[in-house]
């Protein structure tokens, strides 16, 4: 991990949190099948509202050839440019209604995000980085994979080992040298009232 990507922590966190980031440049190595399955196993064990587990993933490894090209075609062009060099690409899909009563599941996207967050943490602990994307073509994904009406493709995830990829345009590669930034803790964690930072008098 380059110094630019190291988080400017206000409080200590576990390595797998500190070391996670979203690269655009991957070194071209494929992800071993067992490794990939363990990463999705972590998503499987995420908590969810009523334990509905609304998330589904569709995945292809680059070495698979045609299935990888198919999943790549579900990304917007700007994301395809760099994601084509990832070891694997997945689509994050979620159910929109509860299986138990068919009512709308307003927590569905939350729970897909939570599963993907857990997946990212497991991946980071294994030296694999995940770059998530909202820039996808959900209608193309629906048509290509036969995604049912009550499900929706929400994100894509490019997984791989970060490393210099000289096939990428320098302008895109430069993104991996940019510092990661976050709002200060005082702007996101409140105590007695809105906007009043937690832990201050």
Q: Which residues bind ligand FMN (CB under 6 A)?
A: 21-22, 79, 132-135, 155, 180
Q: Which is nearer to ligand FMN, 79 or 94 (CB)?
A: 79
Residue nearest to ligand FMN (CB): 135
Q: Which is nearer to ligand FMN, 103 or 181 (CB)?
A: 181
Q: How many CB atoms are located within 10 Å of the residue 112 CB? A: 25
Q: Return all residues near 172 (Cβ < 8 A) that are at least 6 apart.
A: 24, 25, 81, 82
Q: Give all strands (DSSP E) within the chain, no chain letters.
A: 55-61, 88-95, 129-133, 151-160
Q: Which is nearer to ligand FMN, 183 or 192 (CB)?
A: 183
In the complex, the smallest distance separating the C-beta of residue 56 from ligand FMN, rounded to whole angstroms, is 16
Q: Which is nearer to ligand FMN, 55 or 194 (CB)?
A: 55
The token duo for 156 is 């894509």
Distance CA 48, CA 55 (A): 9
CA-closest candidate to residue 58, choices 165, 136, 169, 145: 145
Helices 108-125 and 33-44 pack at an angle, to 10 degrees, of 140
In the complex, the smallest distance separating the C-beta of residue 133 from ligand FMN, rounded to whole angstroms, is 4
In the complex, the smallest distance separating the C-beta of residue 191 from ligand FMN, rounded to whole angstroms, is 26
In the complex, the smallest distance separating the C-beta of residue 22 from ligand FMN, rounded to whole angstroms, is 3
């Amino acid at each position: 991990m380059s110094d630019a990507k190291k988080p400017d922590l206000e409080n200590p966190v576990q390595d797998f949190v500190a070391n996670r980031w979203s690269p655009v440049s991957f070194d071209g190595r494929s992800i071993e099948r067992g490794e990939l399955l363990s990463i999705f196993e972590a998503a499987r064990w995420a908590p969810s509202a009523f334990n509905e587990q609304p998330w589904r993933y569709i995945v292809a490894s680059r070495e698979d050839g045609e299935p990888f090209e198919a999943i790549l075609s579900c990304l917007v062009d700007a994301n395809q440019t760099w994601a084509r060099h990832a070891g694997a690409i997945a689509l994050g899909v979620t159910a929109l209604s509860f299986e138990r009563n068919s009512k709308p599941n307003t927590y569905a996207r939350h729970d897909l995000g939570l599963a993907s967050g857990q997946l990212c943490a497991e991946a980071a602990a294994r030296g694999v980085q995940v770059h998530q994307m909202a820039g996808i073509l959900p209608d193309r994904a629906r048509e290509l994979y036969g995604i049912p009406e009550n499900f929706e493709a929400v994100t894509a995830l490019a997984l791989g080992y970060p490393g210099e990829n000289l096939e990428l345009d320098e302008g895109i590669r430069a993104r991996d040298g940019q510092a990661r930034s976050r709002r200060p803790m005082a702007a996101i964690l409140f105590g007695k009232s809105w906007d009043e930072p937690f832990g201050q008098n």
